[in-house]
Amino acid sequence: MDIKNKDLKIFCILVVVVLIAAAIAILAFSWGPEESSGYDNQAGPTAGSGKDYFSSKALPEYAEGFEVEYHDNYKVLSIIDPWGRESGNRTYLLVQKGTEVPAGYDDAAVFYIPVESVAALSTTQIPHIANIGEIDTIKIVSNIQYINNPEIIDHYDEGLIHDVSTADSSMTSGLDAEILIDAEPDAVFVSAMENPDYDDSSKIRELGLKPVIVSEYMEKTPLARAEWIKYFSLFYNREEEANALFDEIVSRYDNVSAKAKGVGEKPTVFSGNDYYGTWYMPGGESYVAQLIEDAGADYLWSDDNSTGSIPLDFEAVYDTAADADYWINMGTANTAGELLAEDERYSKFDAFQNDSLYNNNARVNEFGGNDYWESGVARPDLVLMDLIKIFHPEILPDHELYYYKHIE
């Protein structure tokens, strides 16, 4: 091959290479930049992207203290102040982790869910969290000595849980600020309080933590109180478990209640005891009155329209309940002798003389922590079965008292 032909061949190859490069550049320009997928490497799908992260939804049917709205990647949880104060209402924005916080909720406290660590400052909160399988997320409790849940006690002994009330407190509420700050819980569940002097939520916010108001104890019926399991499930995306458990409780409750209400003869019942000169009788619209009615008994103060307690003196109670068939929930007494030690006048009641005394303190630990006020709040079906066993033992012949015991 001569030099001229060789040079011509090299020239042709260079021309082809240039043409190919030009074609690639033209195609790339015509395609333009890559379109946004709506995802951010850190934030994940944007709010309103259309993906529903919450296939199971838990809506309250009995409880009146909270409401929830579901959106694609977040939930709007509204807390309704039980005392009717607008200033006591709260809005929580529960945002799925890895997604963006939606706009338009400037006044809402934001929680990224599912939460991984929490503080449960009331014993009534523990069973709800435990029953949906999230007991391991509880890192802070208050007054461990009054708690009955064995797993919580074991975790405390192992150093996995800390008691916020054990050390010297820098907060007027009696909570140890240092323990709370060090634990860095994703949420701090606190009980709603009417008196601002006992309200822990504002103090917790001052620490840079996020309080979550819980007011289940203000609900009027046993099932409404138990339904707060759905409230806790919202923070864990455990709605499916909460719905299943609550539906079972409602089914059992309604089934045994229907049997008890069908009994012709209803025994008369009164409750409580004299405390330093005042007898706090449950109101006729209280959850205790509801339990007694659902157990097929006649509560002697059923005509009263109070949801809380009625302060009475001994004489007023005796005038109404002297010949009542049953006396229940008489404080901490374990024996009839202990009752008489409180007030010898108790012996005048027919219920005392007829050995018809039953107290809700069958499950009390060595420090006085009563499981009736812990797991009993979450299991009104068991509480009701106890009462039916007391008032109508023939309906539940195989049931053994769980929260109640006979006082002799």
pLDDT value, residue 199:
85
Q: Provide the percentage of residues in the chain whose pLDDT is more than 90.
A: 81
In the sheet that holds 326-328, the strands lie side by side as 298-299, 268-271, 326-328, 357-359, 405-406
211 and 105, same structural domain? yes
User: Is residue 171 scored above 50 in pLDDT?
Assistant: no
268 and 209, same structural domain? no
224 and 111, same structural domain? yes
Strand, coil or helix: what is 264?
Answer: coil
pLDDT value, residue 14:
45
Of 217, 248, 279, the domain-final residue? 248
289 and 235, same structural domain? no
176 and 114, same structural domain? yes
pLDDT value, residue 8:
43
Of 197, 219, 248, the domain-final residue? 248
pLDDT value, residue 45:
55
More confident residue, 104 or 168: 104
pLDDT value, residue 9:
47
- Does residue 160 sit within a domain? yes
User: Is residue 1 scored above 80 in pLDDT?
Assistant: no
Pairing of strands 211-214, 187-191: parallel
Which of these ranges, 44-48, 154-158, 347-351, 393-397, has the smallest mean pLDDT?
44-48
336 φψ region: left (φ > 0), alpha (ψ -120 to 50), beta (else): alpha
- Does residue 53 sit within a domain? no
User: Is residue 365 scored above 70 in pLDDT?
Assistant: yes
Q: Provide the percentage of residues in the chain whose pLDDT is more than 70.
A: 86
Angle between helices 380-391 and 239-261 (to 10 degrees): 10
What is the secondary structure of 338-395 as a DSSP string? HHHHH-GGGGGSHHHHTT-EEES-SSB-TT--BGGGTHHHH-HHHHHHHHHHHH-TTT
Which of these ranges, 25-39, 85-99, 163-177, 188-202, has the smallest mean pLDDT?
25-39
184 and 238, same structural domain? yes
User: Is residue 386 scored above 50 in pLDDT?
Assistant: yes
For residue 173, name the pLDDT band (cuts at 50, 70, 90): low
400 φψ region: left (φ > 0), alpha (ψ -120 to 50), beta (else): beta
276 and 158, same structural domain? no
pLDDT value, residue 187:
98
Length of the chain as a residue count: 408
Mean of pLDDT over the chain: 89
- Does residue 110 sit within a domain? yes
Give the model confidence (pLDDT) of 5-43 as tens digits: 444 444 444 444 444 444 444 333 333 333 332 323 334
Q: How many structural domains is the chain composed of? A: 2
Give the model confidence (pLDDT) of 269-313 as tens digits: 999 999 999 999 999 999 999 999 999 999 999 999 999 999 999
Of 184, 213, 248, the domain-final residue? 248
User: Is residue 170 scored above 80 in pLDDT?
Assistant: no
Omega before 222 within 30 of 0, i.e. cis: no
301 and 228, same structural domain? no
For residue 49, name the pLDDT band (cuts at 50, 70, 90): low
228 and 304, same structural domain? no
Give the model confidence (pLDDT) of 204-226 as tens digits: 999 999 999 999 999 999 999 99
CA angle 69, 73, 74 (to 5 degrees): 40
Beta bridge partners of 187: 118
User: Is residue 267 scored above 50 in pLDDT?
Assistant: yes
- Other CB atoms within a 10 A radius of the CB of residue 322 amount to 12
Report pTM.
0.85
CA angle 258, 259, 260 (to 5 degrees): 95
Residue 193: CA atoms inside 13 Å, Cβ hemisphere, count? 16
Enumerate long-range contacts of 401-406, CB under 8 Å, 24 or more apart.
401/362, 402/362, 402/363, 403/360, 403/362, 403/363, 403/371, 403/372, 403/376, 404/328, 404/358, 404/359, 404/360, 404/362, 405/358, 405/359, 405/361, 405/362, 406/357, 406/358
Q: What is the CATH number of the domain that holds 238?
A: 3.40.50.1980
278 and 200, same structural domain? no
pLDDT value, residue 46:
57
Distance between CA 321 and CA 302 in Å, rounded?
A: 13
- Other CB atoms within a 10 A radius of the CB of residue 313 amount to 12
- Does residue 70 sit within a domain? yes
For residue 316, name the pLDDT band (cuts at 50, 70, 90): very high
CB 269 within 8 A of CB 288: no
Residue 195: CA atoms inside 13 Å, Cβ hemisphere, count? 3
213 and 325, same structural domain? no
- Does residue 107 sit within a domain? yes
The pLDDT of 131-138, averaged and rounded, is: 98
The pLDDT of 159-173, averaged and rounded, is: 70
Distance between CA 147 and CA 152 in Å, rounded?
A: 8
Distance between CA 350 and CA 275 in Å, rounded?
A: 20
205 and 286, same structural domain? no
- Does residue 10 sit within a domain? no
pLDDT value, residue 392:
98
- Does residue 299 sit within a domain? yes
CB 377 within 8 A of CB 216: yes
CA angle 327, 328, 329 (to 5 degrees): 140
- Does residue 71 sit within a domain? yes
Domain range spanning residue 392? 263-406
